[in-house]
Amino acid sequence: MAHKSNYVPHSAFEKWLDERLPVVRLMKDQFIDFPTPRNLNYWWTFGGILIFCLIAQIMTGVVLAMHYVANEALAFQSIEHIMRNVNWGWLIRYTHAVGASMFFAAAYLHMFRGLYYGSYKAPREILWILGVVILLLMIATSFMGYSLPWGQMSFWAVTVITNLFSSFDSVIPGLGTRIVQWVWGGFSVGNPTLNRLFSLHYLLPFMIAGVVALHIWALHVPGNNNPTGIDVKRSSEALPFHPYYSIKDGFALAVFAIVFAAFVFYAPNYLGHSDNYIPADPLVTPTHIVPEWYFLPFYAILRAIPSKLFGVVGMFGAIAVLFVVPWLDSSPVRSLRYRPLLKPFFWAFVATCVVLGYLGAMPPEGIYLLSARLATFYYFAFFLVVLPVVGRVETPTQMPGSITEDIMSNEQRRRAALEGGTPSGAPAAPEKR
Amino acid sequence: MANPNSTVDAVDDTDRRDFITVAAGAFAAIGLGPLVWPMLDQMNPDASALALGSVEIDLSPIAVGQAITIMWRGKPIFIRNRAEGEIQAAETTQISALPDRFARNENLSEDAPAVDRNRAGEGHENWLVVIGICTHLGCIPRGQRVGDSKGEFGGWFCPCHGSHYDTAGRIRKGPAPRNMEVPPYTFLSDTRIKIG
Amino acid sequence: MNSADARGAGRLAWVAGLVIALFGLTMPLHAAENGQIIRKEAWSFTGPFGIYDRAQLQRGFLVYQEVCASCHGMEYLHYRNLSEAGGPEFPEAAAKVVAASVEVKDGPDDQGEMYMRPGRLSDAFVSPFQNDQEARVANNGALPPDLSLMAKARPYGADYLYSMLTGYADAPTEVAMAEGMYYNTAFSGHQIAMPQPLFDDSIEYTDGTPATVDNYAKDVTAFMMWAAEPKLEERHKVGFRVMIYLIIVAGLLYVAKRRVWSRGAH
């Protein structure tokens, strides 16, 4: 939100700096004083959590890169060297591996929040699009990172996914094969492939950091959305980010860290696959090639569609469709709180994503294949049919006139509940802040 | 959370809130140390490097007058089984003739003088163990192989800038400022030493 | 979102999860594929407070050395690991003897030749074969895998290894065994190229533990678990401190958050 800067440099040095590079002013305006809607709930803490995840992955990653060797003959053994010999190597490696999963878990929850509360709608379309760009970069980064240990799953995941590009052969003969050999740097996945995956894996997180900066900038122009979807109209409806949301984000981060640490210290391999502790063997294919859990829904969509080319189109399409969500949803109402018709479709969409994830780990046959096809159909139908149609025919429920009104009616309801017991049929307790 | 007695409680609450917030912040900040330490410690030599930090050498194949070079922690170590004449020459040198009067022996204190018994093996005066790196600019002096020039003092000669070392590895002539260093080592038996 | 809806959905989800989890937890067998029979065993190292049993690891190493090492390498272990904290913790002198009892290829010497020398603590475990091809020739085309990571390289880990080592049985009449294969209830496909490795009384235990296949299997499995996860004890120890710290920090931050919010925001 463009608000007046009330930073006053105190010392002579601050004044000198402010005239040349107003970084202190920037920090104060954007991260301390920044007016943030007072009614945000805990779904809004995932942004801060994601920044922590990015920093954690970069720090542990840079340190791992001091010991990792990106060479076919040495990669697997260099990881074991890290686990066994490098001081605290086991901790740094497990944190990095679990961290990737935690990063995606937080990202998916952050995105579902965006869908539910209409945070993608005008004027936040670019904010949403930048978010999808970050998701794409995250997908590329984690795919490349998983290949680096050069275990069985590493090798075969790279082989399978890069082979997908050969589907372009059905569009222009020979094109797909040329592309695949260009990606591989050879006639099969090998040392040149591994080296370039490592180089790009190191590069992309810094590109993510850049897009995150744009993402926060794009957020700060209109300011945060809030659970009502109604714009902030008076300054009393907002609170300075610090101390209110800095401490709330800090608490949420501590809870997130508890879950993170529980995996790192007590179940570090639970989210992984045992086959990746077998060194890569180009002559032996694992019985079930399975990607990491956060790719399973896309993997299910890929295998649900019978044609190779359209399977690839579908898999990428599942992310591409996210880019145009702001223009697919026809409703002028942002928050699903007030959209009774869309709400069940949304929850069905969430369930579909979970089901697709489960099906991605199952063999693509029989009931699993049929379910994956139905789920894929609903995934695309939600975006391409439900969002445009429901917005036009839906009658939204009564919306509060403003955030203040929403908070006050919550207060009244809570007081009534405390004083006289909840009258039957009364709405549920107010939104927890 | 509405508080009807906000004015009264605000006064009471301020102190307690500040304490809790400060306590929370302090406790969180304490965690930064243990968080940062592994990131720094991982750059220290790892277990496999430390395991190679010491090396045991069997001295029995080295005949009198012979010398061998082995690697320890990436550095060359000269081990010479000195002949009687070489020991004599080293023992009879006056301290005043030495450019560097200190023993430079890691097994002894810093101020030990550079007499031959402070350079040669403890109780094994025929054995000389030194780090084979010229103290001038780091070249490896010649003198280990048969036929090598040993310099004017019968020890070693550094071809880079002409430093001459004697039979106790001490600098005698040339630009090198210090005697060749004696690494930390012990005799496990008469024929076996452990360096490092 | 409507809180009643969210609460209802949440309740349903966690009840369903609980039912599924309890069902899974109480079954004595893992839900393994292809009819593999993999029993759940009690190990000293499972759970957040799991540790290794030193005596068991020492016995397990003995079993590995006397039975397994003739075909299976453990190239990610070093002889010094045998005396380091968190493992079998043999005295350093004993580990030195173990190292010195094998020959390690070193060189080239000044003549340009490779030579053999006794092992040192800093050396990696010597594998029985120089490379995979040599291993196959010696084993009818089958490749005995390296065991350093085996406890992490199979689903169900230690439980699987124990079930496999004790799972040798006569093939049921309807199963046609391929040439040179042995029937095993836990192995995927039930036909394994390794003949039964463990037999009662084949290895002498000096600490009074009964010399049964069951104990050999348990001990060598525990040893393999340590070989795959030598830092397990340290991980659990540090983990405990980290969890306590984080729970305290979360608690303090929660109270601080409530106080900050009650001061200005209603």
First to last CA, chain B: 67
pLDDT digit string (tens) for chain B, length 196 residues: 444 444 444 444 455 557 888 888 899 899 999 999 999 999 999 999 999 888 889 999 999 999 999 999 989 999 999 999 999 999 999 999 999 999 999 999 999 999 999 999 878 999 999 999 999 999 999 999 888 899 999 999 999 999 999 999 999 999 999 999 999 999 999 999 999 8
Phi, psi of B49 (to 5 degrees): -70, -40
First to last CA, chain A: 21
d(CA A159, CA A180) in angstroms, rounded, equals 10
A residues 123-182 closer than 8 Å to C (CB): none
Among the residue ranges A32-36, A414-418, B97-101, C205-209, the one predicted with the least confidence is A414-418
* Contacts A109 to C, Cβ<8 Å: none
pLDDT of residue B120: 92
pLDDT tens, C124-151?
999 999 999 999 999 989 999 999 999 9
Assigned domain for A35 exists: yes
* Contacts A242 to C, Cβ<8 Å: none
Q: Which long-range contacts does B35-41 make (Cβ < 8 Å, 24+ apart)?
A: B38/A87, B38/A88, B38/A91, B38/A92, B39/A59, B39/A60, B39/A63, B39/A92, B41/A87, B41/A88
Interface test with A, best of B46, B48, B50 (most A CBs within 10 A): B46
What's at A229, amino acid-wise? G
User: C266–B21: do the CB atoms touch at under 8 Å?
Assistant: no
Nearest residue, CB atoms, A90 vs list C3, C48, C231: C231
- Are the C-beta atoms of residues A148 and A201 closer than 8 Å to each other? yes
Nearest to B174 by CA among B146, B134, B143: B134
User: C153–A275: do the CB atoms touch at under 8 Å?
Assistant: yes
* Contacts C1 to A, Cβ<8 Å: 116, 336-337, 343
Where is B29: in which H helix or E strand?
Answer: helix B6-30
Most confident range, picked from A400-409, C5-14, C35-44, C145-154:
C145-154
- Are the C-beta atoms of residues A403 and A226 closer than 8 Å to each other? yes
Search chain A and give the residue with CA nearest C254: A251
Nearest residue, CB atoms, B20 vs list C84, C122, C252: C252
Nearest to B98 by CA among B13, B155, B29, B26: B155
Interface test with C, best of B13, B21, B48 (most C CBs within 10 A): B21
More confident residue, A169 or A301: A301
Where is A56: in which H helix or E strand?
Answer: helix A46-64
Split at pLDDT 50, 70, 90, the class of A37 is very high
What's at B51, amino acid-wise? A
C residues 233-262 closer than 8 Å to A (CB): 234-236, 238-240, 242-243, 246-247, 249-250, 253-254, 256-257, 260-261
**For residue A157, what is the DSSP state?**
H
Phi, psi of B22 (to 5 degrees): -65, -45
Catalytic residue status for B164 = no
Search chain B and give the residue with CA nearest A58: B39
* Contacts A86 to B, Cβ<8 Å: 42, 46-47
A232 shares its domain with A325: no
pLDDT of residue B6: 41
Assigned domain for A2 exists: no
Does the pLDDT value for residue A391 go beyond 90? yes
Please state, in angstroms and as integers, the Cα–Cα distance from residue C222 to each residue in A268, C228, C229, following that order: 19, 10, 10
Among the residue ranges A269-278, A391-400, B4-13, B118-127, the one predicted with the least confidence is B4-13
Tell me whether residue C78 is exposed, middle or buried, using C-beta atoms within 10 angstroms of its C-beta: 0 to 12, 13 to 18, 19 or more: buried
In sequence order, what are the residues at sequence separation of 6 or more whose Cβ sits closer than 8 angstroms to the Cβ of residue A101? A263, A271, A292, A293, A294
A201 shares its domain with A310: no
Phi, psi of C45 (to 5 degrees): -100, 0
pLDDT of residue B122: 79
A118 shares its domain with A212: yes
* Contacts C235 to A, Cβ<8 Å: 90-91, 94, 265, 268
A170 shares its domain with A309: no
Does the pLDDT value for residue C155 go beyond 70? yes
Q: Determine the 3-state secondary structure of C131 from DSSP.
A: coil
For the segment C23-48, the average pLDDT, to the nearest whole number, is: 84
First to last CA, chain C: 20
The answer to whether the peptide bond before residue A243 is cis (omega within 30 degrees of 0) is yes
Search chain B and give the residue with CA nearest A410: B1
* Contacts A247 to B, Cβ<8 Å: 21, 24
Split at pLDDT 50, 70, 90, the class of A287 is confident
Does the pLDDT value for residue C240 go beyond 80? yes
d(CA A272, CA A218) in angstroms, rounded, equals 35
Q: Within an 8 Å CB–CB cutoff, is residue A209 touching chain B?
A: no
A210 shares its domain with A69: yes
Nearest residue, CB atoms, A89 vs list B2, B42, B49: B42
- Are the C-beta atoms of residues A327 and A337 closer than 8 Å to each other? no
A193 shares its domain with A48: yes
Tell me whether residue C80 is exposed, middle or buried, using C-beta atoms within 10 angstroms of its C-beta: 0 to 12, 13 to 18, 19 or more: buried
HSE, side-chain direction, 13 A CA sphere, residue A420: 6
Does the pLDDT value for residue A421 go beyond 90? no
* Angle, helix A46-64 to helix A246-266, in steps of 10 degrees: 50
Assigned domain for A278 exists: yes
Q: Within an 8 Å CB–CB cutoff, is residue A206 touching chain C?
A: no
Does the pLDDT value for residue C6 go beyond 70? no
Q: Within an 8 Å CB–CB cutoff, is residue B1 touching chain C?
A: yes
Nearest to C120 by CA among C103, C142, C139: C103
HSE, side-chain direction, 13 A CA sphere, residue A253: 17
List the structure tokens of A156.
Answer: 């075969």
pLDDT of residue C85: 96
Interface test with C, best of A278, A350, A409 (most C CBs within 10 A): A278
For the segment C239-258, the average pLDDT, to the nearest whole number, is: 96
Nearest to A275 by CA among A155, A194, A104, A162: A155
Assigned domain for A217 exists: yes
Q: Within an 8 Å CB–CB cutoff, is residue A91 touching chain B?
A: yes
List the structure tokens of B105.
Answer: 């022996």
Among the residue ranges A325-334, C24-33, C207-216, the one predicted with the least confidence is C24-33
d(CA A272, CA A212) in angstroms, rounded, equals 27
Search chain C and give the residue with CA nearest B9: C263
A324 shares its domain with A278: no
| Residue A357: domain span | 297-334+340-395
- Give chains near B: 3+ CB pairs under 8 A: A, C
User: A277–C253: do the CB atoms touch at under 8 Å?
Assistant: no
Residue A36 β-bridge partners: A239
Split at pLDDT 50, 70, 90, the class of C22 is confident
A320 shares its domain with A256: no
The domain spanning residue A96 has which CATH number?
1.20.810.10
* Contacts B17 to C, Cβ<8 Å: 256, 259-260, 263
In sequence order, what are the residues at sequence separation of 6 or more whose Cβ sits closer than 8 angstroms to the Cβ of residue C38? C29, C30, C32, C156, C159, C160, C163, C186
* Contacts C243 to A, Cβ<8 Å: 258, 261-262, 265
Split at pLDDT 50, 70, 90, the class of A194 is very high
- Are the C-beta atoms of residues A65 and A202 closer than 8 Å to each other? yes
Q: Number of folded domains in chain A? A: 2
More confident residue, B181 or A429: B181
Assigned domain for A429 exists: no
Search chain A and give the residue with CA nearest B29: A250
pLDDT of residue A225: 97
Split at pLDDT 50, 70, 90, the class of A430 is very low
* Contacts B44 to A, Cβ<8 Å: 87
d(CA A22, CA C266) in angstroms, rounded, equals 34
A301 shares its domain with A328: yes
In sequence order, what are the residues at sequence separation of 6 or more whose Cβ sits closer than 8 angstroms to the Cβ of residue C28? C39, C40
Min Cα separation C111/chain B (Å): 15
Q: Determine the 3-state secondary structure of B71 from DSSP.
A: strand
Assigned domain for A403 exists: no
Q: Is the Cα torsion angle A400, A401, A403, A405 positive or negative in sign?
A: negative
Assigned domain for A4 exists: no
User: C239–A91: do the CB atoms touch at under 8 Å?
Assistant: no
- Selected catalytic residue, list B124, B136, B161, B164: B161
Compute CA A412 distance to the chain's CA centroid, rounded to the nearest angstrom: 37
Cβ-Cβ contacts under 8 Å between B and C: the total is 50
d(CA A339, CA A324) in angstroms, rounded, equals 20
pLDDT of residue C230: 98
pLDDT of residue C29: 81
Where is C158: in which H helix or E strand?
Answer: helix C157-165
A170 shares its domain with A315: no
Nearest to A115 by CA among A241, A232, A229: A229
- Are the C-beta atoms of residues B63 and B126 closer than 8 Å to each other? no
Cβ-Cβ contacts under 8 Å between A and B: the total is 40
d(CA B28, CA B22) in angstroms, rounded, equals 10
Q: Determine the 3-state secondary structure of B18 from DSSP.
A: helix
Assigned domain for A268 exists: yes
HSE, side-chain direction, 13 A CA sphere, residue B9: 12
A43 shares its domain with A113: yes
A218 shares its domain with A253: yes
Q: Is the Cα torsion angle A254, A260, A264, A266 positive or negative in sign?
A: positive
List the structure tokens of B149.
Answer: 């020039």
For the segment C83-87, the average pLDDT, to the nearest whole number, is: 96
For the segment A401-427, the average pLDDT, to the nearest whole number, is: 79
Among the residue ranges C6-10, C40-44, C51-55, the one predicted with the least confidence is C6-10
- Are the C-beta atoms of residues A75 and A150 closer than 8 Å to each other? yes
User: B42–A411: do the CB atoms touch at under 8 Å?
Assistant: no
The 10 Å Cβ neighbour count of residue C172 is: 8
